[in-house]
């Protein structure tokens, strides 16, 4: 029988360390050709009854044989007309996230779980950043500069500090003073001082790792501020529904190496902030590497005291939900208190 996995279940049964491990496994599987994942599909449709709103679909598909799990994430939200795909752009304060993740057993094709998406979505993005930091960052990094105070900022801050426990200080900036001043109370990171700062310059200058986790459509900092020895991370990307440039061209061109999650998504989602620079010759395509190849050791990219390395956490992938979902499902599957969906409600007759 399929079980229901809520956001509270995700919080209870998945630690950041476990999710980082799951992301390393799935990206390694992907690099070796075992895991399957398709580029994210997004589209918008005008709401028939309200010209100020849009229906927004966000679909992920993937499978990770190492966990015996496949998934379909069916994203379903209402956004303000033309808004960025963020919970903050929903059409009303009481708007719901109707996204459902369906987990399927790779051995018999049976659906084994229906999951809430909100909590897991942020954690798996952060955990993927954690993998990149683990593979790339120097062992002695001590300071993180963070743009953003929302769900992604929180998860990525936790993941980076988990991957590099040497970090002792986080500088955080949001244009909204109340948000940046409230941010330290949202995280429990023993031994880490979280300090709200007044400007983007303060975030970048002196930070070993600079992480931008916002829904901004324009660059959050000036790439000229970067110095050799820094690692840069960002999450906002252009796609077929919205053009965004969270990191400026200077950051792209100054980076000695650029790491992405997968190349197919760069192309299919029309991530022009990278593609245009490659087409113009400003960036050498040979400098762009996939994260999975770092996981398998096929490629080695390291932050040194002199270079700038940029990790473009460039898209969500279905295999991330399959791997992390499997960790949660395996912990919950034998609990007596599970809410269940009987198989007869789901199984259809086979084709004649």
User: pLDDT digit string (tens) for 189-236?
Assistant: 999 999 999 999 999 999 999 999 998 989 999 999 999 999 999 998
Same domain, 51 and 139: no
Same domain, 233 and 325: no
Same domain? For 252 and 300 the reply is yes
50 and 105 share one domain:
yes
Residues 167, 285: one domain? Answer: yes
Same domain, 108 and 189: no
**Which pLDDT belongs to residue 85?**
66
What mean pLDDT value characterizes the chain? Answer: 93
- 32, 47: one domain: yes
pLDDT digits (tens, 9 = 90+) for 118-140: 999 999 999 999 999 999 999 99
240 and 138 housed in the same domain: yes
* Separation of alpha carbons 297 and 301, rounded Å: 10
Asked whether residue 261 falls in the same domain as residue 335, the answer is no
Residue 94: predicted pLDDT:
53
Contact 35, 7 (CB under 8 A): no
How many C-beta neighbours within 10 Å does residue 98 have?
A: 11
Q: What is the mean pLDDT of residues 324-337?
A: 96
Number of domains in the chain: 2
Per the structure, the complete domain to which residue 85 belongs is given by 2-120+318-345
Q: Are residues 181 and 232 in the same domain?
A: yes
- Bridge-based pairing of strands 257-260 and 288-290 is parallel
State whether 303 and 325 are in the same domain.
no
In a domain, 351, yes or no: no
Token pair in block for residue 75? 């994203």
Strands (E), 47-174: 53-64, 69-80, 100-105, 111-115, 143-147, 169-173
Say yes or no: 164 and 33 in one domain.
Answer: no
Residue 191 lies in a domain: yes
The SS3 call for residue 268 is helix
């Amino acid at each position: 029988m399929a079980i229901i996995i809520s956001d509270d279940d995700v919080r209870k049964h998945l630690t950041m360390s476990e999710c980082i491990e799951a992301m390393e496994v799935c990206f390694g599987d992907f690099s070796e050709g075992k895991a399957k994942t398709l580029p994210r599909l997004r589209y918008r449709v005008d709401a028939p009854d309200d010209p100020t709103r849009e229906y927004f679909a966000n679909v992920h598909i993937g499978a990770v044989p190492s966990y015996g799990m496949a998934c379909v994430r069916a994203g379903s939200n209402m956004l303000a007309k033309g808004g960025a795909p963020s919970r903050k752009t929903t059409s009303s304060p009481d708007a719901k996230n109707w996204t459902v993740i369906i987990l399927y057993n790779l051995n018999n094709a049976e659906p084994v779980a229906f999951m809430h998406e909100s909590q897991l979505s942020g954690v798996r993005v952060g955990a993927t950043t954690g993998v990149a930091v683990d593979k790339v960052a120097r062992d002695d990094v001590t300071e993180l500069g963070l743009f953003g105070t929302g769900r992604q900022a929180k998860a990525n801050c936790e993941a980076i500090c988990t991957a590099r426990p040497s970090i002792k200080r986080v500088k955080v900036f949001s244009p909204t003073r109340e948000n940046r001043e409230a941010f330290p109370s949202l995280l429990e990171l023993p031994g880490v001082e979280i300090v709200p700062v007044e400007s983007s310059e303060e975030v970048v200058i002196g930070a070993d790792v600079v992480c931008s986790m916002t829904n901004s459509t324009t660059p959050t900092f000036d790439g000229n501020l970067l110095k050799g020895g820094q690692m840069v991370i960002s999450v906002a990307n252009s796609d077929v529904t919205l053009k965004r440039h969270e990191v400026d061209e200077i950051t792209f061109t100054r980076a000695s190496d650029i790491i992405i999650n997968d190349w197919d998504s760069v192309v299919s989602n029309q991530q022009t902030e990278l593609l245009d620079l490659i087409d113009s010759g400003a960036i050498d395509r040979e400098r762009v590497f996939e994260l999975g190849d770092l996981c398998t050791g096929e490629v080695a990219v390291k932050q040194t005291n002199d270079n700038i390395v940029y990790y473009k956490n460039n898209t969500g992938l279905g295999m991330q939900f399959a791997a992390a979902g499997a960790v949660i499902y395996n912990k919950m599957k034998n609990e007596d208190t599970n809410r269940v969906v009987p198989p007869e409600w789901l199984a259809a007759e086979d084709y004649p």
